[in-house]
Amino acid sequence: MMTRCCALRKVPIGELKPGDLRVLIGQGIGTEHLMPLALELLSKNALIEGDYYPSAMGAWLDRILRPEGSENNVRAGPP
């Protein structure tokens, strides 16, 4: 994971794939810059894949933004 994150930090933001965004945001790397991009991608295609299955990225971001056991609260940072 560390090797992948180090390599992804060198990729220009515009060239990151949805799965790359998932990894970086999940590790708390560049979240303030990458989260808006990830949300924009989801607004264009709610079923966007993120390495695993259709809508994986949306499901993953939902878990980050909502603490366990909460339906309406938004968490202020990475998990």
7: pLDDT strictly greater than 80: yes
Q: At 43, is the pLDDT very low, low, confident or very high (cuts 50, 70, 90)?
A: confident
One-letter identity of residue 17: K
Percent of the chain with pLDDT over 70: 73
Return the residue matching tokens 């940072």: 77
pTM: predicted TM-score of the whole model, two decimal places = 0.67
Stronger pLDDT, 48 or 18, i.e. the higher one: 18
Q: At 51, is the pLDDT very low, low, confident or very high (cuts 50, 70, 90)?
A: low
Judging by beta carbons within 10 Å of its beta carbon (0-12, 13-18, 19+), is residue 77 exposed, middle or buried? exposed
Q: At 16, is the pLDDT very low, low, confident or very high (cuts 50, 70, 90)?
A: very high
